[in-house]
């Protein structure tokens, strides 16, 4: 094969993506090492909820919204929601009964658990490395 023909073949393969493996045979992108790992952020509603309406947003998207949320005092837990994310950091926003939200930046790879407490009318967000035990 002449050098010019070889260059032409490589150019055609490069433009089609087959030389670099950019696409699978089905045409879908092939995962690369640069893609981020999907993690789970668990937001647990703990102490202090008494028939409240609770809203949880992650990066501005509502992932949880319920009314009648109450803490089961035998396990110090009202409810929880798991959120899948590949972001290094997310903006967690929790509000109760339409009141002002509590906002916190959370790094799911470092602190994949967030305990939310509603104490004396104030929301507390605690980012944790390990899931808190149920009492």
Say if 135 falls within a structural domain.
Answer: no
- 98, part of any domain: yes
Domain count, the chain: 2
**CATH number, domain containing residue 60:** 2.60.40
pLDDT in tens, 32-87: 556 678 999 999 999 999 999 999 999 999 999 999 999 999 999 999 999 999 99
Q: Is the separation of the CB atoms in 131 and 42 below 8 Å?
A: yes
pLDDT score of 12: 60
Integer CA distances (angstroms), 105 to 1, 10, 37, 55, 100, in order = 59, 47, 19, 17, 16
| Model confidence at 102: pLDDT above 90 | yes
Q: What is the pLDDT of residues 107-118, one digit of tens each?
A: 999 999 999 999
Domain that holds residue 96: 39-128
Query: Per the domain annotation, does 134 fall within a domain?
Result: no
Does a structural domain hold residue 2?
yes
**Residue 52, helix vs strand vs coil:** strand
Please report whether residue 96 resides in a domain.
Answer: yes
Does residue 24 sit in the same domain as residue 67? no
pTM attached to this predicted model:
0.72
Count CB-CB contacts under 10 A for residue 53.
Answer: 15
Q: 3-class DSSP state for residue 7?
A: helix
pLDDT digit string, tens, across residues 10-25: 556 555 554 444 444 5
Q: Using 50, 70 and 90 to split pLDDT, how confident is the model at 132? A: confident
Residue 88 belongs to a domain: yes
User: For residue range 84-99, what is the model confidence (pLDDT) as tens digits?
Assistant: 999 999 999 999 998 9
């Amino acid at each position: 094969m002449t050098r010019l023909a070889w260059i032409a073949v490589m150019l055609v393969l490069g433009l089609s993506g087959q030389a670099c493996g950019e696409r699978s045979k089905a045409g879908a992108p092939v995962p690369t090492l640069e893609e981020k790992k999907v993690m789970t952020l668990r937001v647990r509603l703990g102490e202090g909820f008494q028939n409240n309406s609770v809203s949880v947003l992650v990066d501005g998207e509502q992932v949880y919204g319920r009314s009648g949320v109450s803490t089961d005092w035998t396990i110090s837990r009202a409810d929880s929601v798991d959120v899948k994310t590949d972001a290094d950091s997310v903006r967690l926003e929790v509000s109760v009964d339409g009141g002002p939200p509590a906002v916190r930046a959370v790094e799911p790879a470092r602190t994949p658990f967030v305990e939310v407490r509603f104490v004396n009318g104030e929301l507390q967000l605690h980012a944790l490395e390990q899931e808190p035990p149920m009492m």
